């Protein structure tokens, strides 16, 4: 339900989107939402956040699950990643609806994760051993991050304003 409120949200196109050469299609779908592009930046190599910062970034969502947080931090630091700061009416929910469920195999068709999940297991197989940690039997490659609330955005954007 639209509330007419102008909101900020952060999208991060994750490394597996780049590896599978889907990053431009993912980005196109996000831009097609008609939200204002405040800023965007691709981070590779030394421009990307180090693993310690990615651990801090994801801790509120993942919590104290060491195998999961370690693998995720390593994967995101490996890069590349693309940050997109968007603003507009109901931006958080518009983006989250376009992205789909966090578990990509549960995402509806017509969403980014729902449409691009098929083939991901095979495409990401060579990377799995690099990032999967003992105790985390199903490392999650889910293509894209989207803030789940404006309060999350306010915390997340601070990692990239350097």
CA dist 105 and 49 (Å) reads: 28
CA dist 31 and 23 (Å) reads: 12
Asked if 16 and 124 touch (Cβ cutoff 8 Å), the reply is: yes
Catalytic residue among 145, 146, 147, 153: 145
Peptide bond into 26 cis (omega under 30): no
DSSP string, 3-72: ---EEEEEEEE-HHHHHTT-HHHHHHHHHTT--EEEEEEEE-GGGSPPHHHHHHHHHHHH-S-HHHHHHH
Tokens standing for residue 140? 């999650």
CA dist 100 and 113 (Å) reads: 6
145 is catalytic: yes
Residues identified as active-site: 145
């Amino acid at each position: 339900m639209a509330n007419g409120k102008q909101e900020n949200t952060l999208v991060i196109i994750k490394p597996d989107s780049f590896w599978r050469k889907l990053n431009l299609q993912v980005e196109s779908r996000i831009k097609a939402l008609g939200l204002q592009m405040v800023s965007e930046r691709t981070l590779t190599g030394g421009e990307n956040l180090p693993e310690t910062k990615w651990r801090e970034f994801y801790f509120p969502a993942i919590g104290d699950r060491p195998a999961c947080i370690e693998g995720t931090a390593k994967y995101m630091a490996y890069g590349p990643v693309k940050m997109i700061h968007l603003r507009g009416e109901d931006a958080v929910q518009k983006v989250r609806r376009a992205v789909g469920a966090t578990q990509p195999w549960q995402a509806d068709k017509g969403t980014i994760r729902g449409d691009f999940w098929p083939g991901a297991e095979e495409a990401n197989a060579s990377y799995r051993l690099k990032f999967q940690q003992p105790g985390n039997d199903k490392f999650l490659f889910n293509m894209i991050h989207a803030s789940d609330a404006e309060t999350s955005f306010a915390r997340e954007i601070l990692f990239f304003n350097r």
